Structure 1
């Protein structure tokens, strides 16, 4: 008996087969090499963009560094032996500052709160501001050998700053911080005139350097300039010449060449004179106004007059007072030139009236 095959009809649902995405017309499929080249190009573009952003940031930082330098905001510790003091003529008389020891004690106890200012020139730095602070550090390092005094905090100015601006910074700082005499101010104007070829004359130098001072004060400085120019360096204690005496001598010199020759002869006779002896010569010469030349002033080599010095604590700082025969001197870190004259006269009168009681 033969077996009969049974045939079953099986119906399959048609499966939904995703057809490949159509390739846009005109576009060819990329091979592996083309894909790698494309990826490298994209990476190169991203790298170039990153480098451009870094360069832009570096440029911004460089401009900010220059701006901060110009503003005097860049500070560093500079070795003492890398600092020079030849660029600017100091507005201070020769000799050691009598108050430098007080500054040294302050630096030892609390450090230097106000950095000096320098300008980098080649492999060294030129001092712009802070001659007393720099001197104090030099002496402290020489006396103690302590490494903390081998370097001094310094603000670094931008290179090639205008010479007049540098002088003005020094002048204005010292007019506020320290009592600079008219003789010292005149001496600075003379030296600046010799250094700056574009300055037309001594009066022009005074107007430029002391532009922030009042007209009357500039006039006094100009009189002292004429006095120092006429005596050609023969006045040894310029910083000690009082204002009234200097102005009297300047007026006396207006009498003519004979008066100038007489004064220079008197000043040439004793090069070792003290400040008091020199003032005696100058006072005698000023008293000869309109009387022609007089006999030589005899100098006394006796001991200097005794004096008393003390300090008073004030909100604006310590006031140093020096008392001697016929003289009372008060030094305070304050600019008195802007105070009305009547107020100063009233204060001085009250002071003298109090002493007279």
Structure 2
């Protein structure tokens, strides 16, 4: 039997294996096309999201700024005239054409409109809330010239639904800087505001709200003129022409005598077509007519016997009745056609003769 070959264990020397060196930057192994596409898409998506966030933030800021400017009435645009209505605010304009419009039109022709009107959006159109005279001037210029330059008017666009009192206050402030604005016009504005504002309790309340920046004395005068216009129920034609002193005298007579209101209204209704001068003369006659009985009533004088006599004249007998504080002359003659100055001279001569 052959001997089995003896197996010997072989010991190898330890071999130090050096790990692979780090790959220098820029020499990495290339990624596959799919991995590169995914990475690029992710980076692009991140950048797009950042850009969209920045755009949204900018839009939000612009939207808030737009709202702020609208509330302040600082947004302006050129608005077609036929898209503007003038019905929201009842203005204090007297009937007829404003003579100052021609001067305003000339100024617009030469240098343009320096102060835009103000409007409020109402659906697809606009409502005029400030600048009636400027709007009227543009309308007339466009009608006269046909120039498209005047077909659109510069306008500040206010926020929708602005407080009615604030709108009227702005109109008041605009009117107060006008030359010659009368107490009658201011009173008419207060009456108009009261008719539109349900929360206003009275005409006096309307005056206090609209003319809060005016002095106490001025507000008192306006309230007196409100009383005058209210008691005459629109029968006064030339509201803007009533002098302050005359208006206050008329109101005083209305307060002193209960029947004075009816007398004044009958006088006004008797002659509807009249000039400002004729209307003032009529009101002056009313004051004089009401003065004698009022004075007598206030002083409490006892009534004395009347003296009555007749004078024979070519045009008929004249009956004269004289009592305390009163002389009445009756004659079949129409004195209304006589010139007022002539009548005043005759009465003055008559009273002068009594004093001699």
TM-score tier, shorter chain, comes to 0.7 to 0.9
Q: Structure 1, unaligned stretches of length 5 or more?
A: 1-14, 22-29, 303-357
Contact persistence 2:116–2:154 (CA under 8 A) = yes
Task: Please give the per-residue CA displacement for 1:4-50, whole angstroms capped at 9, x wherever unaligned.
Answer: xxxxxxxxxxx9962459xxxxxxxx976566445434433332232
Matching residue of 1:161:
162
Q: TM-score, normalised by structure 2?
A: 0.73
Q: Indicate if the aligned counterparts of 2:91 and 2:192 stay in contact, CA closer than 8 A.
A: no
**Are residue 241 (structure 1) and residue 242 (structure 2) matched?**
yes
1:57 aligned counterpart, secondary structure: helix
Q: Which residue of 1 aligns with 2:21?
A: 18
* 1:117 maps onto 2:133 in alignment: no
Shift of 1:184: 0.8
Distance 1:110 1:167 in 2: 29
Separation in 1 of the partners of 2:95 and 2:138? 19
Q: Is the 8 A contact 1:91 1:171 kept in 2?
A: no
| Partner of residue 98, structure 2 | 97
Q: 1:298 to 1:106 in 2, by over 3 A?
A: farther
Q: CA deviation at 1:99?
A: 1.4
Q: Within the alignment, does 1:224 sit opposite 2:210 as a pair? A: no
Q: Give the distance between the partners of 1:41 and 1:286, measured in 2 at CA.
A: 93
Give the 3-state SS of the residue equivalent to 1:152 in structure 2.
strand
Say if 1:52 and 1:299 are closer, same or farther in 2 by CA, change over 3 A. Answer: farther
Q: Distance in 1 between matches of 2:165 and 2:152?
A: 28
8 Å contact kept, 1:240–1:275: yes
Structure 2: 5+ residue stretches without partners: 1-17, 25-30, 295-325, 329-333, 340-356
Q: Secondary structure of 1:132's partner? A: helix
The 3-state SS of whatever aligns with 1:246 is helix
Q: Which residue of 2 aligns with 1:131?
A: 132
Q: How many residues align?
A: 280
Residues 100-151 of structure 1: per-residue CA shift (max 9 Å, x gap) = 1111111111211111111111111111111111111111111111111111
* Matched residue SS, 1:95: coil
TM-score, scaled to structure 1? 0.72
CA distance in 2, matches of 1:288, 1:52: 82
- Paired with 2:136 and 2:216, the residues of 1 have a C-alpha distance of 33
Larger radius of gyration: 2
Distance 1:177 1:75 in 2: 24
* 1:306-349 superposed Cα distances (whole Å, 9 cap, x missing partner): xxxxxxxxxxxxxxxxxxxxxxxxxxxxxxxxxxxxxxxxxxxx
Q: Is the 8 A contact 1:78 1:153 kept in 2?
A: yes
Which residue is equivalent to 2:305?
none
**Separation in 1 of the partners of 2:335 and 2:276?**
15
Residue 299 of structure 1 and its aligned partner are, at CA, apart by 6.0
Q: 1:299 to 1:75 in 2, by over 3 A?
A: farther
Change (3 A) 1:298 1:83: farther
Provide the aligned C-alpha RMSD in A: 2.7
1:352 match: none
Matches within 5 A, 1:136-285: 136-285=137-286
Aligned residue for 2:62?
61
